[in-house]
Chains A and B, each alone.
Chain A
Amino acid sequence: MLEVQNIHSGYGSVPVLRDVSVSVNPGEILLIVGENGAGKSTLLRTIGGFIRPEKGTVKLNGVDVTGHAPESLVRSGLRLVLDGHRVFPEISVYDNLRLGAAARPSNDKAGFNAAVDNIMTVFPILKEKLHNYARDLSGGQQQMLALGQAFVAQPKVLLCDEPSTGLAQALLPPILNFLKTWAASGTAIIIVEQHIDIALPVADRAVVIERGQVKISCAGKDLKAELQKASEARAASGLPT
């Protein structure tokens, strides 16, 4: 579904990613982990069209979409949810959802309503606050809204940057479960996440990025063992693990 090959990317003259390749299939969740500053967000932003890569290609469904603007990628079915639960604060919850649907392929009101109903069943709090300003929501509720905004666009590929930022840990499981069900409907999902223990159970595959390069790529269930191996190697050379 999404194939990212040999990406080199960065900000201005500062390179961040060196030769990174990842891919994700329909119905699959790929978890990307790594230290701060390793380049996880840069990778998602490059795929999402916010940064034009210096080298490498991004293919969506076999079509080369490298360097396309975010607004056109959304129309091709690739949606990035930025980190920091960014919704439009001075706009109501319902209107935030309407804006999320702005990129829907056709003008089908029924499909939109069904998607909104779906969202409100999963996150009942959004139904309760449907006509409140988004700024009145808590961080976790805003993250639910941000995901809902992406959901109503019904993308084929969803990129989700740090859904846990600024959220109480207890709020994470319902959000991740939602992503799990979403993927099951055939959507390809990439999650970048700090809280590896909570996110790992929903991940089919995992990738570790270190200093702008892919360090480990494995099945989700093997990640712990791979990390353990790596940290033993580090400990052997006298470095903090």
Chain B
Amino acid sequence: MTAATLQNAPHARQNWFTSRIGKDATQLWLGVFLIIATGLAPDLLDSSYWSHAFQLVNIFIIASICQNLLLVDAGQTSFGNGAIFGVAGYAAAIATTMHGVSYPWAVVLGLIASLGASVLFALPALRVQHFYLGFVTLSAAVVLPELAMAFNDFTNGIIGISLNFETLHQRSIFGVISPMSLMIALITSVILIVHALMRRSMLGRRMRVAAESPEAAQALGISPGVMRSLAFIIAGLGTGVAGVIYPMIVGFVGPTSFNLDISILFFFAVIVGGRGTLLGPILGVWILYLLPNILLAEFVNYRLIAYGLVALLVMLLLPDGIVGGYLNWRHKKQHGGKRLDLNVAAVLGTQSSALSKAADASAVPAIEVRQGRKTFGKVVAVDNVDLTVRHGEIHGLVGANGSGKTSLLNVFSGFSRLNAGSLHVNGVDITSLAPHQIARLGIARTFQTPRIFGSMTLWENVQIGRDARSGNSKAPIPESAVEKLRETLGEGSPDWVPHGQRRLLEVMRVALQESDIMLLDEPAAGLSPDERKQFGALLQQLRDQYGKTFVLVEHDLDLVWGIADRITVLDAGRVVASGTPDEVAGDPAVRHMFIESSHA
């Protein structure tokens, strides 16, 4: 899309809700329709068997939606969500039968219990990830039925607890629909809509960034630990909702109600249906739970085999699940080979900035390191470095591999901490701050491998920067330019843009973060000569129009000498030379270095 077509882009305000959901809209409405139709149709047809079956199916869908959120949006592998489900069910049932609490209050207690359980799940997740977390949560699912047996004073042990909700099952609404079916279908729909909205909310985006790249998250001021805990709490509460409804449907809770199988069902439903898709959990639960019901209604034991076999086959044949596989196929068919040509410079426009460089050369430096020293074991990566980066300049940081450039960049962004010396940004001492705290002070960074997330749209990839904006930038990118960028990128997929433009997007992300200082780690790697020029021009534009300060770690000396205002040369962790490009190029020590090593 060129700048010209941009001008003509339709500006009609879409309805808030639809634009919120974006490309997920079709899936969402289809999902809601399926949930309500299957939830109510059996009542209308007066089939109490299927009414019961679909009430159960719908609450399993609720739990699977939560599993989906946890697994994909937050990247947490939990095999034990059935335990949270069970805790909620047990707590509500115990409260109402043993203590005579009315069921609405019992529901509240059940939800509180599920909240407690999810906090217990979140704790180990702060320390360990991946299969370790899988094992911990799996253990929890194994332990819950045993605990139910152990505390038989409360749970009635193997006999379980019986409850009576007969009236809710009467088809009392218009004489055809039971309050139970209606309530469950509505709650399930609401939870699906909430998940869809959450995915497109700031919180949802932040969660996904934290899941896909904890470093990128920290650089955007997000604490991955907080995101993980929040995900467990939200998913736990949702699973709790399903859990407290369970006794109302079945009229019974016992240790066998919540054995490991149910955790496996929730997990595999997401895998089979399609990780990260809205329809996935619905289809997954239908296939895993319902199919054996229809085909092999008498052999309830076959259900487990079906779980295993279907999950295995899907993993081998359609690794993204059924909905995911379909979406991939359609995406390829519709957009295969599609290319989006970004013209970021045009989007930014040629606004004549009030920020002249001279006016902005304030006395307080942007970054100041004094006697900075960083060691890794015996290796001294940064050796008594004094370095000053002024406001509104592009500061090149060059040197051979292992000369300490990236170590220094990591110190600036808080990913590693100085062993000695001090680090000030805008005169504030940040020597011992965490990366996400530094990010919030208006220091953004990019990484050697670009952090562009394939699961997000192009705009969302930039928007995550905007989500993290500090709000105290001296010269924020104007709203009109942001709006233009949003329209250009839209629902486009990162697959559509080549690597070179992804680099530009990353810079736009940090620009929208409204950070006045940007740290770029080898941004030109992998760019073609043309793309390098484009990239250099973008940095200069951001410097000249918006007064941005850049620290540029880069091997491409032509690029650095072409755009930098000042350059610092590092060797073995020490500053060898620092000054304007001409000064540095003329420095005998530097000439010596580059003649020796630049081409060898």
Contact = CB atoms under 8 A, between A and B. Distances in A.
A35 B528 contact: no
Contacts of B502: 13
Given A14-B450, A194-B600, A211-B556, A240 B526 contact: no
B558 interface: yes
Contacts of B585: 238-240
A65 interface: no
B557 A240 contact: yes
A234 to B, nearest CB: 8
Nearest to B597: A194
A20 interface: no
A123 to B, nearest CB: 26
B590 interface: yes
A18 B528 CA distance: 9
B555 A14 contact: no
Interface in A193-241: 193-197, 208, 211-212, 227, 230-231, 238-241
B594 interface: yes
B558 A15 contact: no
A12 B502 CA distance: 13
A211 B595 CA distance: 18
A174 interface: no
B529 interface: yes
Interface string B571-597: 000000000001011000011001101
Given A15-B499, A36-B401, A36-B555, A240 B600 contact: no
A36 B452 CA distance: 24
Contacts of A196: 599-600
A14 B449 contact: yes
Contacts of A240: 557, 561, 584-585, 590-591, 594, 598
Contact of B599 (A10, A11, A13, A230): A230
B525 interface: yes
Contacts of B368: none
Contacts of A11: 449
Contacts of A231: 595, 598-599
B526 A14 contact: yes
Interface in B382-402: 400-401
Contacts of A36: 400-401, 555
B522 interface: yes
A239 B595 contact: no
A15 B530 CA distance: 14
Contact of A35 (B529, B584, B599): B599
A241 B450 CA distance: 29
Most A C-beta atoms less than 10 A away, residue of B452, B585, B591: B585
A16 interface: yes
Interface residues of B, number: 29
Contacts of A34: 599
Contacts of A119: none
A241 B595 contact: yes
Contacts of B597: 194
Interface in A1-34: 10-16, 18, 33-34
Interface in B162-195: none
A35 B598 contact: yes
Interface in B326-343: none
Contacts of B591: 240-241
A37 interface: yes
Contacts of A33: 599-600
A130 B452 CA distance: 49
Interface string B521-564: 01001101100000000000000000000000001111001000
Contacts of B557: 239-240
Q: Which of B401, B449, B526, B561 has the most CB of A within 10 A?
A: B526
Contacts of B529: 211
Contacts of B598: 35, 231, 240-241
A188 to B, nearest CB: 23
B564 to A, nearest CB: 12
Nearest to A215: B599
Contacts of A241: 591, 594-595, 598
Contacts of B595: 231, 241
Contacts of B556: 211
Contacts of B499: 10, 13-15
Nearest to A38: B555
Nearest to A17: B526
A194 B556 CA distance: 17
Contacts of B401: 36
Nearest to B452: A13
Contacts of A14: 449-450, 499, 525-526
Given A10-B526, A18-B528, A240-B594, A37 B600 contact: no
Interface string A30-52: 00011111100000000000000
A86 B254 CA distance: 57
A35 to B, nearest CB: 6
B555 A37 contact: yes
B526 A15 contact: yes
Contacts of A239: 557-558, 561, 585
A179 B499 CA distance: 38
Nearest to B585: A240
A169 B310 CA distance: 60
Interface string B433-462: 000000000000000011010000000000
Contacts of B599: 33-35, 196, 208, 227, 230-231
Given A37-B555, A239-B558, A241-B591, A12 B449 contact: yes
A228 to B, nearest CB: 10
18 contacts: A10-B526, A13-B450, A13-B452, A13-B498, A14-B526, A36-B400, A193-B600, A211-B529, A238-B561, A238-B582, A239-B557, A239-B558, A239-B561, A240-B590, A241-B591, A241-B594, A241-B595, A241-B598
Nearest first, the 8 A-B pairs at minimum CB distance are A196-B600, A14-B526, A37-B555, A240-B585, A36-B401, A227-B599, A13-B499, A240-B594
Interface of A: 10-16, 18, 33-38, 193-197, 208, 211-212, 227, 230-231, 238-241
Given A13-B499, A212-B526, A231-B595, 11 more contacts: A11-B449, A13-B452, A16-B526, A36-B400, A194-B600, A231-B598, A238-B561, A239-B557, A240-B585, A240-B594, A241-B595
